[in-house]
Amino acid sequence: MTWRRLFRLAFAAALIGSRASAHIGSPAVVFDGAAGPYAVRVIILPPPVIPGRAEINVRLLGDENEPVKVTVLPVNWRAGLKGAPPPDAATPVPGEPALRHGELWLMGPGSYSVHVTVEGARGRGTAIVPVVAQATQRLDMPAALGVLLAILGLLLFFAAVTLMGLGTQESILPPGAPFAAAQRRRGYLTMAIAAILLGAGIYGGKRWWDAVDRNYRSNEIYRPNPLAATVRQAGDTRVLHLEVGRGGNFFRGRLLLIPDHGKLMHLFMIREPQLDAMAHLHPVRSGPRAFEVAVPPLPDGHYRLYADITYETGYAATLTTAVDLNAAAGFPTATAAPTRDPDDAWSVAEPAASPAAGPRLVLAGRPVLRAGEDVSLGFAVQDEAGGPVDLEPYMGMLGHAAIRRSDGTVFAHVHPVGTISMAAQDYFAAQAAGGQAPMDHRMHLHHGGTGNAVSFPYLFPQPGEYRMWVQTKVAGKVITGVFDFTVAPGN
């Protein structure tokens, strides 16, 4: 079995039950960046159960034949580097000189950083990749294995009872002594007592296991905090009110968040089922667990909401709910509309629609997309004559993108550096440095593009039809490109 086949099998296992996670239905963590002088792409497949082993794949993006040593180290947010185990070596994959593979145990739920260290002739460098570890499913025992274990268990039970009975019968007789009825009765009594005691032990063990299983189902399998959405009317502006509930199995207390790109929440509104309207908004806090944002001039309809937040522990999550926008609904009145964030952007367009006057985004090349294979999706900004137009930073990056499968089972917020939360990365970088450091995205500006081009690394988790919204900034204005992709099944 080739490494590609093993990689896809592991990915498929991680995908099952992964809908409730940071991103939706997209468990792979993808990072494009630098480990010191070495350009790397890191793909991490978190385990679907905790404790479990995470699959780590490190691709060297420079000279694939350069001899380097790659190590990987999981660091829990509570323990830090001082409480971390020794790093493990990521070994070369046969037939893929630029690829290194490793496996790491994540022993408890929560946020981790994986330190990927590359060491070679050009020196030594480390990339810090944040990972969320959470149980997303309960593994069932295969029926055949269950039957086999039950048969073996019965054999052990009867063998143990029989041995205890024999131990009080023939084993205590001198050699050649006759076997009396009293000894036989003593043996039967011992077997009865042994059966009762062993049965009680098995019953107690079964009750203990059922309690552990109930606790796992109720408290260990990840459920995100619920998100409630209501719409109010303030003059001519619709105001979206969001309330983060306490029903999830994590973060039931105070909602302590850290900003990502300077925003506590990144909210995506996508109209269903048409997928023709999308807004990328940044609600402001209006209460301990409440946020509000002015709804842009979107058409009426049913909208799916995706809210990206990062807790102060570096734990990134995507909360989701739905809301209906209807001009004739008669929304309750709001006292005032919040000020619109200058980075808010929205689009009402189809991929086949004629672009409006001005710069536009075009797809660079024709990428071959297969489920379970990482790819770089490249785009360029052109003017009406097809000439290049230089990009400007948009919230610290050359671009932002949202990817959604047509049926809503997959959603991901992607940057040129990948799918990671950069707020979480900054948190872990500051932790590793022994102190708090201000967020600085200048290091990310040249990742994934230069001039008028930008690219996004991603790994499509499932085959099917996808829509991608790409947002860049030109001359102080955010432009949005809409693209459709068909992802084929993996080989």
Amino acid at 238: R
What average pLDDT does this structure show over 160-174? 80
The pTM of this model reads: 0.81
Beta strands 290-294 and 284-285 are antiparallel
Looking up tokens 């309960």 gives 138
Topology of domain 223-332, CATH: Immunoglobulin-like (2.60.40)
Judge whether residue 193 has pLDDT over 90. yes
Instruction: Rounding to the nearest 10 degrees, give the CA dihedral for residues 26, 270, 290, 414.
Output: 40
Res. 418 pLDDT band, cuts 50 70 90: very high
Nearest alpha carbon to residue 133 among 107, 157, 161, 156: 107
Beta strands in 221-333 (DSSP E): 227-234, 237-244, 266-272, 277-281, 284-285, 290-294, 301-310, 316-325
Q: Which of 43-57, 317-331, 457-471 has the highest mean pLDDT?
A: 457-471
Beta-strand runs (E) in 96-167 = 96-106, 110-120, 123-133
pLDDT value at residue 161: 92
Indicate if the pLDDT at residue 4 is higher than 50: no
> Which tokens go with 373?
């294979």
What six digits make up the tokens of 80? 């830090």
Given a cut of 60, whether residue 6 has pLDDT beyond it is: no
Would the pLDDT of 289 be above 80? Answer: yes
Give the separation between CA 121 and CA 22, rounded to whole angstroms.
37
Q: Which of the two residues, 365 and 377, has the higher pLDDT score?
A: 377
How far out from the chain centre does Cα 149 lie?
Answer: 34
Q: Which of 19-33, 46-60, 165-179, 335-349 has the lowest mean pLDDT?
A: 165-179
CATH architecture of 3-133: Sandwich (2.60)
Residue 13 has pLDDT above 50, yes or no: no
Comparing CA positions, the residue from 401, 402, 319 lying closest to residue 21 is 319
CA dist 366 and 379 (Å) reads: 11
* Structure-token match 């199995």, residue found: 249
For residue 254, pLDDT over 70 is answered with no
Tokens of 292: 């509000």
Q: Which residues contact 342 (CB under 8 A, 6 or more apart)?
A: none
Task: Give the 3-state secondary structure percentages of the chain, helix then strand then coil, rounded to 5.
Answer: 20, 40, 40
What pLDDT is stored for residue 34 in this prediction? 92
Residue 482 predicted with pLDDT over 70 = yes
| Residue 294 confidence (pLDDT) | 94
Spatial separation of the C-alpha atoms in residues 73 and 57, rounded to whole Å: 13
pLDDT tops 90 at residue 124 = yes
**Could you tell me the two tokens for 232?**
């109010």
pLDDT > 70 in the chain, percent? 88
Question: If you average pLDDT over residues 345-351, what whole number do you get?
Answer: 85
3-class SS of residue 36: coil
DSSP-derived letter for residue 339 is: P
Q: CB neighbours (10 Å) of residue 71?
A: 18
Q: Which has the minimum average pLDDT: 27-36, 171-180, 382-391?
A: 171-180
**Segment 240-249 mean pLDDT:** 80
**Helices 143-167 and 181-215 sit at what angle, rounded to 10 degrees?**
150
Q: Which pair of structure tokens corresponds to residue 235? A: 């003059």
Q: How far apart are CA 415 and CA 398, in angstroms?
A: 8
Phi, psi of 336 (to 5 degrees): -160, 160
**Of 245-249, 337-341, 356-360, 383-387, minimum mean pLDDT range:** 245-249
Helix (H) or strand (E) holding 364: none
Residue with tokens 């360029």: 380
Query: Picking from 27-31, 108-112, 201-205, 348-352, which range would have the lowest pLDDT averaged per residue?
Result: 348-352
Peptide bond into 51 cis (omega under 30): yes
Same fold for the pair 3-133 and 223-332: yes
> 140-158 burial, b if ≥16 CB within 10 A, otherwise e?
eeeeeeeeeeeeeeeeeee
pLDDT for 176-190, tens place per residue?
677 677 778 888 899
> How far apart are the C-alpha atoms of 241 and 287, rounded to whole Å?
10
Q: Report domain extents, the chain.
A: 3-133, 143-220, 223-332
If pLDDT is split at 50, 70 and 90, which confidence band does 352 have? low
> Distances from the Cα of 101 to the Cαs of 75, 85, 409, in angstroms?
18, 18, 28
Could you tell me which residue, 134 or 151, shows the higher pLDDT? 151
More confident call, 444 vs 433 = 433
Choice between 442 and 38, residue whose per-residue pLDDT is larger = 38
Q: Could you report the per-residue pLDDT of 451-474, keeping only the tens digit for each?
A: 889 999 999 999 999 999 999 999
Backbone angles phi, psi at 297, to 5 degrees: -70, 75
Element (H, E) at 386: none
Map residue 374 onto helix, strand or coil.
strand
* pLDDT greater than 70 at residue 116: yes
* pLDDT > 80? residue 443: no
Q: Which of these ranges, 22-31, 186-195, 200-209, has the smallest mean pLDDT?
A: 22-31
